[in-house]
Structure 1
Amino acid sequence: MMEQGQISARQFFVLIFVYLLGTAFFFRPGGLIAIAKQDAWMVPLWTGTAGFLISLIWIKLASHYPGLTIIQICTQAAGKWIGGIIALLYIGYFVQLSAFVTRNLGDFMKQALMPRTPITVFHVMFLTVVCYAVIKGVETLARATEFLFPIFTLTLLFIFLAALSEWNWERFQGMFQMNAWKTMKETRSMIGFPFMESLSFMMLFPYVRSKMKSSFILALLISALLLSVGVFFTLGVLGATRASHTTYPLFLIVQEIRIGTFFEHLESTLAIILLIAIFIKLGIAYYGAVLGLCQLFQVDNRTWIAISLILLISGLSLGFDNILENIEFGKRYDFEYNIVYAIIFPLLLLSITWVRHGKGKQKAGSSS
């Protein structure tokens, strides 16, 4: 059955907010601090600004095709064959994004919590839960996110407050000494992850009841600001040297939290909010792949497509031998990979739309 659900502006805002902030807050700070040292907190500000400007292209494109997803826009703008090929590439993008997110989950669980458990076990178990949510539809994803959002935010706030006892302003000595152009070049991958990846929400645009544009832009800008705060917090608690030498700085912060003799070893608490963040991000990407296949090939029932993608995504997520390969690939190619889907294809579709509208006006003028 094709999607009939609707989500509110508030639910849409929460979806985007956790999608952008959740996984990036876990996986980004260490790499950024390794490159930009004490100035790393500035990186989310400029990459978020770039992400905002890029998102204006998607909003402009969607305004020409109200009520259509990016898959439907492709075939509507570029025709059945060329548009169909672009739409198929977008579906491949959503599948690959799902595989990246799944692998991030597996790497974290295996490295930090359960090193003896095969990584595929984490992949299949989590994909099964997400698959069920996707089969139930966009309203289920939105409601689940709305329910989990307070747990996510309150747990993060608790971690922040508990770790403030380790804060030291001296760890910011040497600030404002970075080479701006070199740093921007080396941290450009953050435009790709997480900001360009919010392209996935073009699959949800038609199902937002009201204030879609303002909710999207506001969530993107607030997420960029809070990512900057998160990196600043990591620097203040761990310092540039320690933070840059660990894959998951936030996990290290949580490990060292001590409140009396009762609150300690809170790693499982961190795992809970990471699972929430990954559930939401994976759910959106997975939903985009399933709905895209249904729309492109005019399939009414998405159940078996959703179930079959569990095996495909689980297999693709094993494409890297280890976490270091995963991180290195993201650092080198995230921006270039995402730019094709986030900028080149939307601009191409927008150009075709403008040309067609121009020809339509010329014909209308000559006939009158």
Structure 2
Amino acid sequence: MSKQVKISGRQFMVLTTLFTIGSAILIIPSGMAFLAKQDAWIAALVGVGSGFLLVWIYNTIATLYPRMTLVEIIETLLGKWLGKTISLLFIVTLFLSGPTAVLYDVGNFLTTQIMPETPALSVNILFAVIVVMGARLGIETFARSAELLFPLFILLYISLVILIAPEIKLENVEPVLEAGIGPIWPAALSFISVLFLPHIVLLMIFPAVNRIDNARKAFFNGSMFGGLMMVLIVALAILVLGPDLTARSIFPSYFLAQKISIGNFLQRIEAIMAVMWFISLYFRATIYIYGIVLAIAQIFNLKDYRPLILPLGMILVVMSVVIYPNVPYQQMWDGTVWLSYTLSIGLLLPLLLLCIHVIRKLLSKKRTESKG
């Protein structure tokens, strides 16, 4: 990554927060309520605790190789050809599972909830255009944009929490742990598979932060802040809608906003609240695309990543309308393939890199001692 490309720790924290929330704010309460019922909020807290460990692992790798992206770290530890092969496989599968799925969520959400007469392809094209624009302008530009839009995002989030509070029914979370702790674990795993395991992509932009110590703090703070915000969303969905209705809803948080009614005057403001979701969806998709094109450029030793963005954006639009034939297929995919995939790239891959780093250090130390 070019040394001239720099963002502040604050900007990295904002990007991490928005990436953490991403599409999870729309879809995660439903799956968690299906698995853990009224205890979904407990599973979300367990997921945040697990996320702490994952972020520590990513921070450790990034600190050991402070000015290298993930692709450069893989190539350094695994060798040129094996490293490039694994990186290419990682990037191709990530493209199909990451930004493509996010764009599908955007089109599915808008065409089912807000604009049912509009073709999903049209929505996807419009959203992909601004994603491509953001990625092409570079990380410094969209990091500043995130910093500017973040106060609006927080304002809308706080408004949602305050305005929906009168609808809370505490009996919806009772009895606590009715089915024991068994259902908590798969629900927590579902939580971290969407929120924290994809964070390995952020190692592609970690070197862009001007100070490494600030980057570590920003990575941790952004991840935990986004995770706790999602815990509150899950809890509110259960408290207001109940576990059964939350589990049956495709987009529970949108349905949650529809429940806002203050004195029969302030109501039906879910379209305004949707702005919050579009902000997080946009930055998650843009970070995915930026990280992917940067990785491709590094794998093939290209001087500039920008010529790759438009073709990749066109492929993104096409794949977004064919990746999931229907909603049941998407739910099956998210519960099986996505879970296994994110565990392999978000947990097994970084652990493998750490193990290889330790082995190489030990071998290097033995050689030094034998020469001495």
Q: Do the structures match in fold with TM over 0.5?
A: yes
Task: Give the structure 2 partner of residue 87 of structure 1.
Answer: 87
Q: Secondary structure at the match of 1:298?
A: coil
Instruction: State the Cα RMSD in Å.
Output: 1.8
Between 77-86 and 332-341, the greater mean CA deviation after superposition? 332-341
Instruction: Give the letter aligned to residue 102 of structure 1.
Output: L
Residues 39 and 261 (structure 1), Cα distance of their counterparts in 2 relative to 1, 3 Å cut: closer
Is 1:42 equivalent to 2:46 in the alignment? Answer: no
For 2:89 and 2:4, locate their aligned partners in 1 and report how far apart those are by CA, in whole Å.
Answer: 25
What residue in structure 2 maps to residue 217 of structure 1? 220
Report whether the alignment pairs 1:362 with 2:366: yes
Q: Is the 8 A contact 1:189 1:333 kept in 2?
A: no
Say yes or no: does 1:319 pair with 2:323.
Answer: yes
User: 1:297-308 to 2 correspondence within 5 Å?
Assistant: 297-308=300-311
Indicate the larger mover: 23-32 or 136-145.
23-32
Deviations 1:39-74 (A, max 9, x none): 110111112222221232222222221200001111
Measured against aligned partners, the alpha-carbon deviations of 1:287-342 in whole angstroms (never above 9, x if no partner) come to 11011011111212222200110122222222111223212211223221111111
Q: Deviations over 1:186-218 (max 9, x none)?
A: 552222111101111101110112311122122
Match of 1:279 among 282, 285, 302: 282
Q: Contact 2:40 / 2:187 at 8 angstroms: preserved in 1? A: no
Is the contact between residue 107 and residue 323 of structure 1 (CA under 8 Å) also seen in structure 2? no
Provide Cα deviations, 1:106-129, integer angstroms capped at 9, x if missing partner: 111111111222211122211111
Given residue 219 of structure 1, which amino acid in structure 2 is its aligned partner?
A: G
Amino acid at match of 1:4: Q
CA contact (8 A) 2:168 2:239 kept: yes
Cα distance change, pair 189–108 in 1 and its aligned pair in 2 (3 A): same
CA–CA distance in 2 between the matches of 1:320 and 1:351? 36
Counterpart of 1:364 in 2: which secondary structure? helix
Structure 2 Cα separation of the partners of residues 222 and 261 of structure 1: 33
Are the equivalent residues in 2 in contact too, given 1:69–1:202 (CA < 8 A)? yes
Structure 2: stretches of 5+ with no match in the other structure: none
Rounded Cα–Cα distance in structure 2 between residues aligned with 1:336 and 1:4: 37
Indicate the larger mover: 133-142 or 13-22: 13-22
Secondary structure of the corresponding residue to residue 28 of structure 1: helix
Alignment of 1:253 with 2:239, yes or no, is: no
* Identity value in percent: 27
The Cα of 1:260 is off from its aligned counterpart by 4.2
Once residues 186 and 261 of structure 1 are traced to their aligned partners in structure 2, the CA distance between those partners, rounded to angstroms, is 36
Cα deviation, 1:13-48, whole Å, max 9, x if unaligned, reads 111112112421221112211221221101111122
Secondary structure in structure 2 of the residue aligned to 1:346 = helix
Q: Does 1:139 align with 2:143?
A: no
TM-fit CA distance, 1:2? 5.2
Provide the rounded CA distance (Å) in 2 between the counterparts of 1:362 and 1:55.
31
The aligned runs of 1:326-365 (5 Å cut-off) are: 326-365=330-369
Match of 2:66 in 1: 66
- 1:151-184 CA distance string (max 9 Å, x none): 1111121122222221222222222213312431
Distance in 2 (CA, whole Å) between partners of 1:349 and 1:172 is 41
TM-score (norm 2): 0.93
Distance change >3 Å, CA 237–CA 332, structure 1 → 2: same
Aligned residues: 368
Q: Which amino acid aligns with 2:195?
A: P
Q: What residue is the counterpart of 2:125 in the other structure?
A: 124
Contact 1:254 1:267 survives alignment (8 Å): yes
Give the distance between the partners of 1:316 and 1:218, measured in 2 at CA.
33
User: Does residue 53 of the first structure (1) align with residue 56 of the second (2)?
Assistant: no
Deviation at 1:99, TM superposition (A): 0.6
Q: Cα distance, 1:261 vs. partner?
A: 5.3
Q: Which moved more, 1:104-113 or 1:58-67?
A: 58-67
Q: Which residue of 2 aligns with 1:184?
A: 185
Alignment of 1:183-202 (within 5 A): 183-202=184-203
8 Å Cα contact 1:134/1:283 also seen in 2: yes
TM-score (ref. length: structure 1): 0.94
Report the AA paired with residue 25 of structure 1. Answer: I
Report the 3-state secondary structure (helix = DSSP H, G, I; strand = E; otherwise coil) of the residue aligned with 1:66.
coil
Q: Give the distance between the partners of 1:156 and 1:59, measured in 2 at CA.
A: 28
Structure 1: where are the runs of 5+ without partners?
A: none
Corresponding residue SS for 2:325: coil
Shift of 1:12: 1.0
